[in-house]
A and B are shown apart, each in its own frame.
Chain A
Amino acid sequence: AALKDALRSQVSAALKEGRVTPTELCQRCLALIKSTKFLNAYITVTEETALKQAEESEERYKRGQPLGILDGIPIAVKDNFNTAGIETTCASNMLKGYISPYNATVVQKLLDQGAVLLGKTNLDEFAMGSGSTDGVFGPVRNPWSYSKQYKEKSIPKSHSEDKEPDWVISGGSSGGSAAAVSSFTCFAALGSDTGGSTRNPAAHCGVVGLKPTYGLISRHGLIPLVNSMDVPGILTRCVDDAAVLLGSLAGHDPKDSTTIQDDFKPFELPNLTDVSKLSIGIPKEYHAPGLSSEILAFWSKAADLFKNAGAKVVEVSLPHTRYSIVCYHVLCTAEVASNMARFDGLEYGHRSDVKDSTESMYAATRREGFNDVVRGRILSGNYFLLKQNYEKYFVKAQKVRRLIASDFGKVFRSGVDILLTPTTLSDAAPYTEFIQEDNRTRSAQDDILTQAANMAGLPAINVPTALSERGLPVGLQFIGRSFQEKQLLTVAKWFEKQVQFPVIQLEEVKRHDSGVFQQQKSASFS
């Protein structure tokens, strides 16, 4: 089995039949992590515990009693999920050295099914950002920067003293997770999605990024950013794998009162062949200012694809789309101001040496622990929550949120099943260009297509579609009705099959996989 193989269709079978063992898989992934260290995708690599988990999994396979399809599968988890006994930093000085005393529910579920936790992945500090560039451990590099496809298209610099390619960002804030999955160091990774933080890096790194319906997957143990919008996100290399992960994570959790109580039944995705009963909506407002002509073309092509296959494709309108980013900005900073209040240095995390008084210790701790982005959002949030501003900004934003959510409701009630939109405005930018604008500006630009789904709590998925002129991945987004992940993923899987997104050609992976390097087609998707 190759590291590129799809989880469900290939690796699981290989493990069951003994063609590969969990320890072999684990060792290969760990070795690949080492040789792709320059990507800076991982903050913590839990080598010892991973190998131990792999050994235990191997025992189970030998006895013919694997726990399930995830038994022995190496996965990575974004560093804002609590993992017992393992440092959880949120890429912030505030939590450096913080060893979680418990596992987040989603982490526990994965471990209970025998998954092998390779490590914690890098992110923007406290998941605030759209580039994975603002964490204290440095930026994450998009693996595609080092791909044959990108290098071939790069304009060679006439006088380049540095042999480094002009590397591009991975997107954010779950950039580490996306890069980890994209570079084959794990088969799946957990991210979080508040405004697009799973779908944005998925689009830039050419992987599948699923944002489930709010309330489907437990947030217990996910260090919160915006309680009313956060969800754990799933990053995989193909849609089938995303369905597998969803199946093992979804469901009511008594420890998270915002999870719905309905029974959740894990599902296998059917192989859709007939799309004639499908109605695809194209929201015209998503043709946003700044959308690159390339992505516009891919979006158009995709619409044609569905039409030519017999589906009904209609233009729809979500009139409040252009206000969703403003609304998000207010609600996000307000909730952040509240959620970050817990970091005072007393019970956990960084504590300042200042000891004149409680308040001065708190203030110093927070000054030392948070970066500009976090502090900026806290201050903005507090401004919007001031008595004189509460109605004007916070309540107003909540009203606009209802308008945005009902826009979607109207469209879905009119008979549209799935919405098709771009995920990002363009392909990944070079790091040096990205950092020319500040975090808030970038987030406002980059989240514009993704965060309305968080406003309305709807499920959405990025499917890698094609390579841009620069040889970088471009993805398209499907948005579905609440709790209709099966329909959403079925359509996404059909689309994935049609576009046949190319496999990334990475030197390091070739070396590790030599001998079992199969042709592209069979690799990442079934």
Chain B
Amino acid sequence: MRVLSLGRWLRAGRVPPRGRVRLNSGHRHSGHRPQAPPQGPAQVPPRVPHQQKVSVEVLDHLEHLALVDFRDSEGVERLQKAIQFADQLHEVNTDGVEPMDSVLEDRCLYLREDDVTEGNCTKELLENARETVEEYFVAPPGNIPLLKLEEQNTYLQGSK
């Protein structure tokens, strides 16, 4: 069977030139040449709002909200790249479009009867916790805010 190029099924074979999703091209492994994407008119770089660096205050705020740390400059760089990547969304015209929460939005959510059908598994649930006292999970004292930026010995403090 003769191999027909996909051009037969793809009429113009062109990806619409109006801006493209930019990806880090990554490292392609040897063995075969990846197909060059079909060329349209000279590619115009997509218009993206000028990328401002995320301020240290915001980074600190994120660390507090998420309770995970950036750890090093790579972590911050990763966030910058992620934001840059996400900025491409603004190229899409979404006037008059409603946000979609769920693909099942046309259906009714299942509601069951408010009857107790299971439970009484205190013992099993407590088994997985490291620190318990009788039937309580034990936590260190609360209402103590995380150390302020000035007091922390984290990467962000070093970068301020």
Contact = CB atoms under 8 A, between A and B. Distances in A.
Interface string B74-111: 11001101110110111110100111111110010111
Nearest to A428: B29
Contact of A433 (B27, B78, B110): B27
Contacts of A370: 68
B65 interface: yes
Contacts of A402: 97-100
Contact of A393 (B23, B89, B103): B89
Interface in B1-54: 1, 3-6, 8-11, 13, 15-16, 20-21, 23-29, 31-35, 37-38, 54
A442 B15 contact: no
Contacts of A367: 68-69, 71
Interface string B117-160: 00001001101111100000101111011110000000000000
Interface in A369-402: 370, 372, 375-376, 378-380, 382-384, 386, 392-393, 395-402
Contacts of B124: 101
A303 interface: yes
Interface string B54-76: 10001001110111111100110
B133 to A, nearest CB: 13
Contact of A436 (B27, B61, B97): B27
A14 interface: no
Contacts, number: 282
Nearest to A337: B66
On chain A, which size bracket covers the interface? Answer: 35 or more
A445 interface: yes
Nearest to B94: A399
* Interface class of chain B by DSSP: loop
Contact of B15 (A287, A305, A315): A287
Contact of A329 (B35, B85, B90, B121): B85
A45 B93 CA distance: 51
A287 B9 CA distance: 11
Given A101-B124, A287-B6, A358-B141, A380 B82 contact: yes
Contacts of A436: 26-27
A282 B92 contact: no
Contact of B13 (A215, A287, A441): A287
Interface string A253-271: 0100111110000000000
A360 interface: yes
B101 A323 contact: no
Given A101-B127, A290-B28, A304-B4, A376 B82 contact: yes
Nearest to A458: B103
- Residue among B9, B65, B112, B144 with the most chain A CB within 10 A? B9
Given A287-B13, A355-B140, A426-B29, A101 B125 contact: yes
Nearest to A301: B3
Given A259-B110, A287-B13, A397 B89 contact: yes
Contacts of A376: 75, 78-79, 82
A93 to B, nearest CB: 13
A359 B145 contact: yes
B88 to A, nearest CB: 5
Contacts of B98: 399, 402
Contact of A345 (B5, B38, B110, B130): B130
Nearest to B70: A379
8 contacts: A215-B107, A257-B111, A258-B102, A315-B9, A325-B21, A347-B125, A348-B129, A399-B94
Interface of A: 98-99, 101, 214-215, 228, 252, 254, 257-261, 282, 284-285, 287-294, 296-297, 299-301, 303-305, 308, 313-315, 319-320, 322-323, 325-327, 329-330, 333, 337, 344-349, 351, 354-363, 366-367, 370, 372, 375-376, 378-380, 382-384, 386, 392-393, 395-403, 405, 425-427, 429-430, 433, 436-438, 440-442, 444-445, 456-457, 468-470, 482
